Amino acid sequence: MSRPGRRATIIDVAARAGVSRQTVSRAMNDMPGISDETRDRVMAAAEELNYRPSRFGRGLVEQGPTTLGLVVGTLANHYFAELGAAVVRACAPHGWNVVLAEGEDSAHPEKAAADLSRRVDALVGYGVATAGIRGGGMPVVQLDGTAEHVPDVGVVELPREQAMTDLAAHLRERGARRPVVLDLGTDESAGRTRALVAALDGLVEDGQVPVRVVDARTGHPEALRAILAEGADTLVAFNDELAVRLLRALRRDGVAVPGDVRVTGVDGLEISTLVSPELTTLAIDIDEVAAVTVDLVAGMLAGRVPLRGEDAHRTVPYRLEVREST
């Protein structure tokens, strides 16, 4: 190609094929008004140069669709994967594209989000701080954000307080007296774990609800046995992923649920209804979260909704879903 190391452009192809840029465009886009012979020559030249049209040049003149960027902590977490799917679905009626990115694997999650913010028309983050992003007029929405984010970005808050209170009442009614909160030991899990401990505080006679850290992927069978040996009668897992793994570990050890010990999760993933026993959990309608978020973004893009402040604040609450595991 004309400039080695650089990607071939329409000009390189035109030169090689001995035609004008416009003729190359006609050939590449299968447009009428070009002879077969010329087309073949152009296509051959394009192939030789490994030419691909730039989507930017094309988008500039064609006015491509709105693109929404979604940054989540890690797609290894099914909750984020389901959210991604829900957001894609919610964007489809608008004709928007969705760029999905993980914050966690990159060295600087905030950097990943900031980078992406320059390539999209709007940015949604969950489990990644978006508040610091200088969007330059671009809609930025923090999912699972709190009041403190409101001055900087749009916020969709997912309050769990009421559901946690309901959970505590439910567990009390079921006779639970020695709950243990199982944490993943990550930075993000800290806040939710604190909230769970606070909500369950009324259940225990003396002292505080203990917190134990277990492995996210295995549920850490040994740690689990130690916890049960200490007399725990209820395992309150940080999320459903962990809870279903705990259920598996308990099953393998022959521990009855909810007979010997109760188990609860958080998130309301579909999987919580497919395991045995079906899991009691704090659930949220992820399609509603996605719909509310996309609607908020749409309002911002249209200029109907401000980019920050109380008017850019939405709420979708968790609710208690009682099933077999308690």
Residues within the interface to DNA (CB under 7 A): 6-7, 9-11, 18-26, 28-29, 31-35, 37-39, 51-54, 56-58, 60-62
Selected binder of a second copy within 47, 201, 260, 310 (CB under 8 A):
47
Selected binder of a second copy within 21, 52, 108, 177 (CB under 8 A):
52
Window 55 to 74, contacts with a second copy (CB under 8 A): 55-60, 62, 64-65, 67
Task: Report the residue number, 26 or 149, with the smaller CB distance to a second copy.
Answer: 26
Span of 113-121, 167-175, 197-205, 220-228 interacting with a second copy by CB under 8 A:
113-121
Closest CA to 141 of 270, 269, 316: 316
Q: Identify whether 210 is preceded by a cis peptide bond (ω within 30 of 0).
A: no
Task: Report the residue number, 81 or 195, with the smaller CB distance to a second copy.
Answer: 81
120 contacts a second copy (rule: CB under 8 A): yes
Task: Report the residue number, 144 or 240, with the smaller CB distance to a second copy.
Answer: 240
* Contact by Cβ (8 Å): 27, 38: yes
* Contact by Cβ (8 Å): 234, 179: yes
We find the least distance from the C-beta atom of residue 124 to a second copy, in angstroms, to be 13
276 contacts a second copy (rule: CB under 8 A): yes
147 binds, among DNA, a second copy, none (CB under 5 to 8 A by kind): none
We find the least distance from the C-beta atom of residue 277 to a second copy, in angstroms, to be 9
Q: How far apart are CA 264 and CA 282, in angstroms?
A: 8
Contacts with a second copy by CB under 8 A lie at: 28-30, 46-47, 50-60, 62, 64-65, 67, 75-76, 78, 81-82, 84-85, 88-89, 92, 97-102, 105-106, 116, 118-121, 134, 136-138, 244-245, 247-248, 251, 270-271, 273-276, 301, 303, 307
